[in-house]
Amino acid sequence: MAESRTTAPEERTPRNEASASRRAVADLTLLANLRPTGIVFDCDGLLVDTEPCWTVGETAVFASRGLPYGPREKARFIGLSVPATSALMAEIFGEVGSEDAITEYVLGMVADVIAAQAEPMPGAVELVRALAGRVPIAVASNSPRRLVDLSLARAGLAGVPDAVVAADEVVHGKPAPDLYLTACARLGVDPSASVAFEDTITGLTSARAAGMTVIGVPSLEPDGFPADLVFGSLADPGLLAWARAL
């Protein structure tokens, strides 16, 4: 469910290793001069590792119809909003018109798994807590509010962001800009002077449409990820040092 991650990783070669190293040095230089008025984080796949939880829930839904759920099926769902997920399932199952029932079943399954198993992504808690109180921070998620709240609580981040915006609180989810625009409005900051952290192209497109600078922490290979700055992990020491210097 956390925005699209369907591209296969690039093969690592000496040439692209060198290119990645040069990009990393350049990005650290740019980061040092970045002083945002607000920061907005994606949640799924960036702050909290919820993708395995969605896989468990989606697998159960398919199994209840006697259908397999493997990598090919998974690739069709990553990045979709909850309504789009339910609509695609209804189409696959031949149950068009039952989207609401499918939604409730899936959300119930996923909520149970998140509450029991979801873990924070490496460096997420340290970075968010380092930023808290230094700059207004928010979370903008393509998941519904009840799952976002469960995810943040499981990660130990409940109550830390100054604002949280979920997909069921805006008209259009990502890749539309609504979530980021709403998050910036709740923080009282100008999107063009603020930074978004994203791990997917869908989320990056949303933040860019809102006029924000985007720091990418891509879920797959960072090479070619078209963010303004790209890091391999929120645990990158350069990010934590930058946060503490704001």
Instruction: Decide: pTM greater than 0.75.
Output: yes
Q: Which residue out of 42, 162, 178, 199 is catalytically annotated?
A: 42
Mean pLDDT of 198-216: 95
Beta strands in the chain (DSSP E): 39-41, 48-49, 119-120, 137-140, 163-165, 195-198, 213-216, 229-230
Quote the CA–CA distance of 214 and 197 in Å, as a whole number: 6
Q: Which residue out of 44, 178, 199, 236 is catalytically annotated?
A: 44
pLDDT of residue 39: 98
The domain segmentation of the chain, as residue ranges, is: 14-49+119-245, 51-117
Quote the CA–CA distance of 234 and 150 in Å, as a whole number: 21
Residue 236 known to be catalytic: no
pLDDT in tens, 36-87: 999 999 999 999 999 899 899 899 999 999 999 999 998 888 767 788 899 9
What are the strands of the beta sheet with 137-140, ordered from one edge?
A: 163-165, 137-140, 39-41, 195-198, 213-216, 229-230
**CATH architecture group of domain 14-49+119-245:** 3-Layer(aba) Sandwich (3.40)
Residue 44 known to be catalytic: yes
| pLDDT value at 2 more than 50 | no
Tell me the one-letter amino acid at 229.
L
